[in-house]
Amino acid sequence: MDRCFERTTAGEAITWGRSCSTATIGSTGSFLPGATFSLTLSGAAALQPAFAFIGFDLTSALGLQLPLDLGVVGMNGCTLLVSPDASISTATDGAGAASVALTIPNNPNLSGSGFGMQWIHADPNAGNALGLLTTAGRLFHVGPILCANRYVYSLSNYAAVTGTLQAGGPIAQFR
């Protein structure tokens, strides 16, 4: 039988890419239409500006291919991972943490769609001309993420190459 590996019905968040900072990106909450979740930053410099970039394109930004080496603007070793389609500014607290709350529009057609986020934060010890650092990125998939179809094969015939289509999703045939 092919198996549908459904992802969580609450959506998912995956960290990807490299950071030029010791700070980490995270998130809390569910990623469903109408839900509010938090994007978090921890381990950054205390009491400094921080910007959460929201990007709907993970392949290009401003006509340039992503990931983009930010050494061209003086941020050596840092990488832009998401298109800066929107940004939210805040500041880190005394412990170097920050958080922004976002609400996913209450539109069921958003299920299965995705977007990325990344923090850019100030650090007096950044070691670059701009005094800014980047975190890794965070990729969000809006839930519920349901499987589309699956096939059930004859379990008594491992050589069967066709099966019966049933409701479900991405398939992997085990023989």
Half-sphere exposure in the Cβ direction for 123 (13 Å, CA) = 22
Q: pLDDT tens-digit profile of 50-92?
A: 999 999 999 999 899 999 999 999 999 999 999 999 999 999 9
pLDDT digits (tens, 9 = 90+) for 102-128: 999 999 899 888 999 999 999 999 999
Buried-state track 131-167, b at ≥16 Cβ within 10 A, e below 16: bbbbbbbbbbbbbbbeeeebbebeeeeeeeeeeeeee
pLDDT tens, position by position, 132-152: 999 999 999 998 866 555 545
Is 18 a residue whose pLDDT tops 70?
Answer: yes
Residue spans of the domains in the chain: they are 12-141
Share of the chain above pLDDT 70, in %: 78
12-141 has which fold? Immunoglobulin-like (2.60.40)
Q: Which residue has the tokens 């007096």?
A: 124
**pLDDT (0 to 100) of residue 144:** 83
Radius of gyration of the chain, Cα coordinates, nearest whole angstrom: 20
The helix/strand/coil state of 130 is: coil
Asked if the model's pLDDT at residue 155 lies above 70, the reply is no
Q: Which residue has the higher pLDDT, 56 or 10?
A: 56
